C-alpha cells in the first residue's frame, strides 16, 4: 500500500491470515494500524509522517523485521 491517501485501515486486515509482509510507503495521512495478522513476518513503514502508533506486536510470533523510517510522529509501539 504505497503512496495512498488512506487515513485508516479497516479492522478486517486482521482476517488476512496468510499475509506475511506489510509495506507502507509514503502513506502520509495514515495515523494508525489496527491489530495485524499473527503470521506477519515483516513490516516496512517509510514516510508515514502522520502515523502516531502501532498496534500490539506481541502476537506476531513470526515477526523477524520491523523497519520504520521517516515516521516522525510515531510515539507508541505497544509491548515493544
Q: Is residue 1 scored above 60 in pLDDT?
A: no
**What pTM was computed for the model?**
0.82
Residue 37: which region, alpha, beta or left (left: phi > 0; alpha: psi -120 to 50)? beta
- Domain ranges for the chain, please list them: 11-77
Tell me what pLDDT residue 62 has.
96
* pLDDT exceeds cutoff 90 at 3: no
3-state class of 49 per DSSP? coil
Q: Give the phi and the psi of residue 78 in degrees, each rounded to 5.
A: -60, 135
Tens digits of residue pLDDT in 23-76:
999 988 888 888 899 999 999 999 999 999 888 899 899 999 999 999 999 987
Q: Which residues are CB-contacts of 26 (< 8 A; sequence separation ≥ 6)?
A: 2, 3, 46, 47, 48
Amino acid at each position: 500500500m504505497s503512496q495512498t491517501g488512506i487515513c485508516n485501515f479497516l479492522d478486517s486486515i486482521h482476517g488476512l491470515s496468510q499475509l506475511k509482509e506489510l509495506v507502507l510507503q509514503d502513506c502520509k495521512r495514515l495515523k494508525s494500524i489496527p491489530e495485524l495478522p499473527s503470521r506477519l513476518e515483516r513490516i516496512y513503514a517509510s514516510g508515514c509522517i502522520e502515523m502516531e502508533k502501532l498496534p500490539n506486536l506481541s502476537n506476531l510470533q513470526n515477526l523477524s523485521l520491523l523497519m520504520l523510517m521517516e515516521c516522525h510522529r510515531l510515539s507508541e509501539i505497544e509491548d515493544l
